[in-house]
């Protein structure tokens, strides 16, 4: 009973309510649009929504990395650019190794993927090194600098060109964009892969000592340090993991782009990752948040963007306003509730004091 | 009696309305238009082409483009259109390769895919709609200049990079026309081809060189937008009576067209592109046009157009009509191109 009560008070429960409420609004809109003759067939039904989550789960892996950083009270805005540099490495390495081999070379692809993930981790390591070595600088500024560096470096390597690959081996990356068919249901392959990783992250972050140390750092880094935790080491590795997850995101992005690589991709993806993590309960203050919350948030943002774009006719450039509105409300909401509760308490005490004073007199 | 009369009248009304609807070929068809970037006046003009055709054919269309001109933004928009169940997609691709997979998914779902203005690679589309073939682009500029200089005299070409494939193709068709023995080119002499590398200063200096070297030069063809204003400015400063034509932006060339340095310059017409794409889309959705090479398509005010084979192996529909900027028309295009 106690467990149920605390669940009903939890942030995750609120997010589920928000998701359900949005689905209801969209479902009603869908039905009324059909009734009004504005569309021929339903748009907002389960199979269609699941299938359309694909673009919004591209950055889900990046969100997992971002959770670690935010839990420590830091921020990393270079994750999008790390993804770009990683996939540029992927493309260039594959071209170099496979050369003009007939039908492509699977070995070259494995090596190129390894290089891609390694570069992602190395970029993260650079961030981690700078953040732990130069504590007087905000991580925001450091990762702003490395972001510009990584993106500039990507342009230096391949310029404004698109690297395209015609051979079937490299094209097999398009499989990452596949839809798994279960009857009428088409599930983007990134969703089950994300869920597996999310379970791993969940147990690591919330169920192991090392994971709890990450939250402890975010709550009070000095206290954590003086209680014997090697703060810098943990920080460093969290940035490495965030970089690695960006490279993973990048590989999925290549699959999504018909197996082509460009230097301007994933611009702004760090914002999507941060937004999903923050709505999931993480904050730049550190010390809180949950993998489950962030996962629900990914779905919320996907659903609201899909609904606004298809049912409300929002242009693609405007759907992000929903992210802003939801974020502000979700951050302000709890604060407002707390504020009102505090005021009520103060008013009660005043009234009580006044009553006592009156009684004395 | 009154009731019967009312009933008859009502039935006539219904019939006439449905007859009016039945006349329109595109009734009930929905087209999803995707362009490179939202807020770009070039594509806003393209949308007016779709609007014009929608008025004639009665189809419905939605249009959108990403604000950052990215391919993944276009993929998002296409996914939304697939989810909404459009009948045809008309895409101006930010990247010909990146959209292939999502376009093929759309085709697997029974949606026809047309690229317009900027192609989707051949394996991901049913048809590409483009302004004009290389031959028409080359010869249109030549004919306009020949007209401007009274059919007689020396001309030169200022191109972009010496290696620019498009420009070289157009120039080869200009040369082919001049050597074809056609009567109207008999007194025209192409004396030189120089390269301004799409840089303003280099284009200006190369023009100065041409003017010094050929005192009787009558005209210059500039098949590159950067070169147009540079060449015109150079001629204006030198005070020479040399005419310019070429592929230029209306906004770049307005002052030189008004000053009489250029009588007529050209560029694509996004309105016509949208208009023709609409006709192709409706015909495809109706199933009486597949976009195969050799097929003919009735395109409203643009007349009958024929599908030819594109150099990437796919099929392409050329409008073969360039947008001409003259003293009378340039003002209308200044804010668009």
Please name every residue paired with B298 in a beta bridge, in sequence order, or none if there are none: B304
Instruction: Give the number of other CB atoms < 10 A from CB of residue B91.
Output: 31
Residue span(s) of chain B under CATH 3.40.50.2300 come to 10-132+270-322, 134-267
Q: How many separate domains does chain A show?
A: 1
Query: Would you call A174 and B101 a contact, using CB atoms and an 8 Å cutoff?
Result: yes
Strands in B73-150 per DSSP E? 88-91, 112-116, 127-130
Residues A135-148 have a mean pLDDT of 94
> What pLDDT shows up at residue A217?
94
Instruction: Give the number of other CB atoms < 10 A from CB of residue B89.
Output: 27
Query: Would you call A256 and B72 a contact, using CB atoms and an 8 Å cutoff?
Result: yes
CA-CA distance, B223 to B190, in Å (whole number)?
Answer: 15
- B67 close to A (CB below 8 A): yes
pTM, two decimals, is 0.82
CA-CA distance, B25 to B15, in Å (whole number)?
Answer: 17
Tell me if A113 is assigned to some domain: yes
Max Cα–Cα distance, chain A, nearest Å:
100
Q: Return the structure tokens found at B281.
A: 């889309």
User: pLDDT tier at A190 (50, 70, 90 boundaries)?
Assistant: very high
CA-CA distance, A12 to B263, in Å (whole number)?
Answer: 69
> What pLDDT shows up at residue B310?
87
> What pLDDT shows up at residue A296?
96
Which residues does B145 contact at the CB level (< 8 Å), separation at least 6? Answer: B155, B219, B220, B221, B243, B245
Q: Return the structure tokens found at A108.
A: 């070259």
SS3 of residue B125 by DSSP: coil
* Domain B134-267: assigned CATH number: 3.40.50.2300
Virtual CA dihedral for A207, A209, A212, A218, nearest 10 degrees? Answer: -160
Give A293 to chain B, closest Cα distance, Å: 24
Domain that holds residue A97: 60-292
SS3 of residue A334 by DSSP: helix
Surface of A (45-84) touching B: CB under 8 A = 48, 51-52, 54-55, 58
- A313 close to B (CB below 8 A): yes
Tell me if A215 is assigned to some domain: yes
Tell me if A210 is assigned to some domain: yes
> What pLDDT shows up at residue B4?
61
Task: Using the Cα atoms of residue B281, residue B286, residue B291 and residue B295 in order, give the sign of their dihedral.
Answer: negative
pLDDT tens digit at each of 337 positions of chain B: 566 656 555 555 555 544 444 567 778 899 999 998 888 888 888 999 999 999 999 999 999 999 888 889 999 999 999 999 999 999 999 888 899 999 999 999 999 999 998 889 999 999 999 988 888 889 999 999 998 898 889 999 999 887 777 788 889 999 999 988 888 888 888 999 999 888 889 899 999 999 999 999 999 999 988 888 899 999 999 888 899 999 888 888 888 998 888 889 998 888 999 999 999 999 999 988 988 888 898 888 988 999 999 888 899 999 888 888 988 888 888 877 7
**Nearest CB to B83 within list A43, A260, A268:** A43
Size of interface A-B (CB pairs under 8 A): 84
Which candidate in B77, B80, B91 is best for mutational testing of the A interface (most A CBs within 10 A)?
Answer: B80
> Running DSSP on this structure, what letter comes out for residue A36?
T
CA-CA distance, A209 to A65, in Å (whole number)?
Answer: 18
Surface of B (196-255) touching A: CB under 8 A = none
CA-CA distance, B245 to B267, in Å (whole number)?
Answer: 11
Contact indicator for B198, B161 with CB cutoff of 8 Å: yes
CA-CA distance, B25 to B22, in Å (whole number)?
Answer: 7
CA-CA distance, A42 to B36, in Å (whole number)?
Answer: 28
Q: How far is CA B231 from CA B65, B226, B242, in A?
A: 35, 9, 10
User: pLDDT tier at A2 (50, 70, 90 boundaries)?
Assistant: confident
At A14, which helix (H) or strand (E)?
A: helix A11-35
- B75 close to A (CB below 8 A): yes
Question: How would you classify the pairing of strands B304-309 and B265-267?
Answer: unpaired
Strands in chain B per DSSP E? 30-34, 60-64, 88-91, 112-116, 127-130, 153-159, 188-195, 217-222, 243-246, 265-267, 296-298, 304-309, 315-318, 323-325
Nearest residue to A284 (alpha-carbon basis) of A166, A98, A139: A139
Give B177 to chain A, closest Cα distance, Å: 34
Which candidate in B21, B31, B47, B101 is best for mutational testing of the A interface (most A CBs within 10 A)?
Answer: B101
ipTM reported for the complex, 2 dp: 0.86
At B178, which helix (H) or strand (E)?
A: helix B165-178
CA-CA distance, B274 to A209, in Å (whole number)?
Answer: 61
Tell me if A299 is assigned to some domain: no
Tell me if A244 is assigned to some domain: yes
Q: Return the structure tokens found at B278.
A: 């609409």
- Secondary structure (DSSP) of B45-58: HHHHHHHHHHHHH-
Tell me if A342 is assigned to some domain: no
Q: Return the structure tokens found at A104.
A: 């492509």
- A41 close to B (CB below 8 A): yes
Tell me if A128 is assigned to some domain: yes
Nearest residue to B254 (alpha-carbon basis) of B158, B326, B159: B326
The pLDDT tens digits for B253-304 are: 888 998 888 889 998 888 999 999 999 999 999 988 988 888 898 888 988 9
* Domain B10-132+270-322: assigned CATH number: 3.40.50.2300
How far does Cα B306 stand from its chain's mean position?
A: 16
Tell me if A185 is assigned to some domain: yes
Among chain A residues, the shortest Cα distance to B62 is held by A313
């Amino acid at each position: 009973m106690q467990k149920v009560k605390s669940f009903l008070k939890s942030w995750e429960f609120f997010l589920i309510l928000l998701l359900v409420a949005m689905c209801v609004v969209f479902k009603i809109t869908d039905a009324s649009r059909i009734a009004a003759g504005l569309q021929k067939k339903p748009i907002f039904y389960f199979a269609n929504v699941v299938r359309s989550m694909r673009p919004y789960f591209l950055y889900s892996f990046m969100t997992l990395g971002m959770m670690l950083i935010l839990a420590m009270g830091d921020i990393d805005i270079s994750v999008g650019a790390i993804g770009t540099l990683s996939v540029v490495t992927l493309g260039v390495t594959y071209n170099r190794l496979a050369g003009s081999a007939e039908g492509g070379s699977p070995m070259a692809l494995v090596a190129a993927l390894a290089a891609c993930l390694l570069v992602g981790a190395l970029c993260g390591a650079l961030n981690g090194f700078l953040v732990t070595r130069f504590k007087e600088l905000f991580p925001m500024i450091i990762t702003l600098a490395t972001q510009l560096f990584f993106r500039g470096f990507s342009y230096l390597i391949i310029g404004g060109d698109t690297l395209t690959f015609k051979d079937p081996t490299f094209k097999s990356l398009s499989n990452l964009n596949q839809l798994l068919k279960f009857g009428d249901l088409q599930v983007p392959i990134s969703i089950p892969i994300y869920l597996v990783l999310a379970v791993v992250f969940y147990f690591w972050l919330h169920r192991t000592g090392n994971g709890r140390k990450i939250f402890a750092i975010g709550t009070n880094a000095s206290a954590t340090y003086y209680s014997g935790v090697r703060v810098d080491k943990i920080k460093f590795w969290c940035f490495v993991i965030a970089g690695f997850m960006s490279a993973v995101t990048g590989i999925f992005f290549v699959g999504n782009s018909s197996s082509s690589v460009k230097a301007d991709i994933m611009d702004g993806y760090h914002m999507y990752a941060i937004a999903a993590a923050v709505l999931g309960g993480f904050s730049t203050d550190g010390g809180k948040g949950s993998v489950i919350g962030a996962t629900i948030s990914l779905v919320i943002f996907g659903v609201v963007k899909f609904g606004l774009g298809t049912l409300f006719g929002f242009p693609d450039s405007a759907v992000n306003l929903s992210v802003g509105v939801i974020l502000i409300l979700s951050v302000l909401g709890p604060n407002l509730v707390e504020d009102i509760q505090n005021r009520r308490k103060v008013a009660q005490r005043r009234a009580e004091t006044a009553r006592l004073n009156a009684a004395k007199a | 009696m009154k009731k019967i009369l009312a009933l008859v009248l009502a039935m006539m009304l219904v019939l006439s309305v449905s007859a009016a609807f039945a006349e329109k070929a595109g009734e009930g068809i929905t087209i999803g238009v995707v362009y490179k970037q939202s807020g770009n006046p070039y594509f806003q003009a393209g949308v007016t082409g779709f609007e014009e055709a929608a008025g004639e054919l009665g189809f419905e269309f939605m249009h959108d483009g990403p604000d950052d001109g990215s391919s993944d933004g276009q993929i998002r928009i296409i996914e939304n259109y697939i989810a909404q169940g459009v009948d045809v997609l008309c895409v101006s691709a930010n990247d010909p390769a990146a959209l292939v997979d999502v376009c093929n998914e759309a085709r697997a779902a029974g949606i026809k895919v047309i690229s317009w203005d900027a192609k989707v690679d051949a394996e991901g589309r049913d048809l590409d709609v483009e302004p004009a073939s290389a031959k028409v682009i080359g010869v249109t500029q030549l004919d306009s200049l020949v007209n401007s200089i009274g059919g007689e005299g020396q001309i030169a070409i200022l191109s972009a990079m010496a290696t620019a494939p498009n420009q070289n193709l157009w120039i080869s068709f200009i040369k082919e026309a001049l050597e074809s023995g056609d009567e109207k080119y008999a007194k025209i002499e192409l004396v030189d081809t120089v390269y301004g590398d799409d840089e303003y200063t280099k284009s200006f200096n190369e023009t100065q060189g041409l003017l010094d070297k050929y005192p009787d030069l009558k005209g210059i063809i500039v098949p590159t937008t950067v070169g147009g204003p540079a060449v015109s400015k150079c001629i204006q400063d030198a005070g020479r009576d040399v005419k310019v034509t070429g592929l230029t932006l209306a906004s770049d060339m307005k002052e030189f067209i008004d000053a009489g340095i250029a009588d007529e310059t050209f560029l694509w017409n996004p309105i016509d592109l949208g208009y023709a794409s609409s006709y192709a889309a409706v015909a495809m959705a109706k199933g009486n046009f597949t976009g195969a090479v050799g097929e003919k398509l009735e395109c409203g005010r643009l007349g009958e157009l024929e599908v030819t084979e594109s150099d990437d192996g796919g099929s392409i529909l050329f409008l073969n009509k360039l947008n001409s900027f003259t003293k009378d028309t340039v003002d209308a295009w200044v804010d668009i191109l």
